[in-house]
A and B are shown apart, each in its own frame.
Chain A
């Protein structure tokens, strides 16, 4: 058995082990699950070491002299402090810094995304066949946005209730379309696996 054949057999048996879950949770599936998790951890450790930790130490800090990066190293080590008695507060500092960083980052850059979406929502309305899509999109947008007004009591306010209701229906139509689309993509993935099992593994199809 050459290495390629061995690889195909491992892949085929692993696929069947995962598919066995369709019958019920069982020891074979459990083996596949634990192997998958273990391999993901091992892969993650190697990738993190190779792509981040090693180049940061050897190139950025030692070779290029970017000693300020040591600050990030120290903050990163704070995450491990919770494993020592009385060190949990240091971990909370590191978490606070991470949360603060992303909060500031989102505040700084999300309006740029928002304004692009806003001006992209200015439609040239028309009842002509060529412009009907714009009109439908505009009405759907307004109605759907109205649905997400939380502090206006819809049952007492038909000006909000009617468009919100239309918005909910519009969303359901959109979700239905997305559902069909994604199911087709999943079927395609399943067929890909079947092709592998019947073709590459069993050579029953070409």
Chain B
């Protein structure tokens, strides 16, 4: 993802006045402003106690508590695997939101949770999140810093270590949320071998099929980004998901209109967006 943004930066137009005004970016600027406005309106509504649209049921997230409960019943640990991404990837931030919720549930049920990091930047962040979650759950003494582990920055060295831990600790539940690439099937298969209930989430369309095949629940792409708001059940956060839906509906309308115009031979909208 970071590479994608670097590539985008390399092809972006040269910044003009004060580094802010650039040509051929007007629509993009308006898009960001419109989205920010939508978020502002819905958050204001939520804060004022007015109703905001609720998020539809997402089974994979409903099953999170169930997986913690299973680990508790079996007396075995839960493994949280935040993927190989670092702080430059939005999926890692989505993983943090799920981590916080899972850590609180583990603290409440007195279930051991092992976090396995591949990013040295994500390591201190996950440590803080887990520590804070245990504190908020009223069980700071149950937090064990040695269970939040940095294993390796190398993709397959990390994978081999995660698989090894999975087998040695006999994890009862695996939560895999974040950036996953070629190691997705190796992890999910190892989890299946130890009989763990598995919940996975990714936006990688090449790895999602493996999660579908092996895991009990899979969150597809965007569902992962809605997880924070869904789990927190906080109206202000739900409002941001509502704003994202408004954005998606706007984009949908633009695609439909653009396609109709393109079909009748008009390039008007295409040229307008390029301004």
Contact = CB atoms under 8 A, between A and B. Distances in A.
B160 A178 contact: no
Given A119-B274, A149-B249, A112 B56 contact: no
B144 interface: no
Interface residues of B, number: 72
B8 A110 contact: yes
B270 A122 contact: yes
A93 to B, nearest CB: 11
Q: Is the interface of B mostly helix, strand, loop or mixed?
A: helix
Contact of A33 (B160, B212, B226): B160
Interface string B246-264: 0011011011101101110
A13 B228 CA distance: 45
Contacts, number: 176
A174 B262 CA distance: 26
Interface in A99-145: 99, 102, 105-107, 109-115, 118-119, 121-126, 138, 141-142, 145
Contacts of A44: 152-154
Contacts of A145: 248, 251-252, 255
Contact of A121 (B5, B208, B255): B255
Interface in B137-178: 151-154, 156-158, 160-161, 163-164, 167-168
Contacts of B261: 122
B262 to A, nearest CB: 4
A26 B58 CA distance: 38
A203 to B, nearest CB: 28
Interface in A10-52: 18, 21, 24-25, 29-30, 32-33, 36-37, 39-41, 43-44
A142 B256 contact: yes
Contacts of B226: 150
B79 interface: no
Contacts of B58: 150
Contact of A113 (B8, B156, B161, B242): B8
Contacts of A25: 164, 167-168
Contact of B273 (A32, A105, A119, A146): A119
Interface in A131-188: 138, 141-142, 145-146, 148-154, 171, 174-176, 178-179, 181-182, 186
Nearest to B5: A109
Interface of A (DSSP majority class): helix
A154 to B, nearest CB: 6
B131 to A, nearest CB: 10
A150 B160 contact: no
B63 interface: no
Residue of B53, B125, B157 with most partner-chain A CB within 10 A? B157
Contacts of B29: 111
Contacts of A66: none
A141 B255 contact: yes
Contacts of A154: 56
Contacts of B160: 18, 32-33, 36-37
Nearest to B127: A82
A69 B161 CA distance: 35
B32 A36 contact: no
A120 to B, nearest CB: 10
A142 to B, nearest CB: 7
Contact of B28 (A43, A114, A124): A114
B209 A178 contact: yes
27 contacts: A24-B167, A33-B161, A37-B151, A98-B121, A105-B88, A107-B32, A109-B12, A111-B25, A111-B31, A112-B11, A112-B25, A113-B5, A114-B28, A115-B274, A119-B258, A123-B263, A126-B263, A142-B256, A145-B251, A149-B249, A150-B222, A150-B226, A151-B238, A153-B54, A174-B205, A176-B209, A179-B209
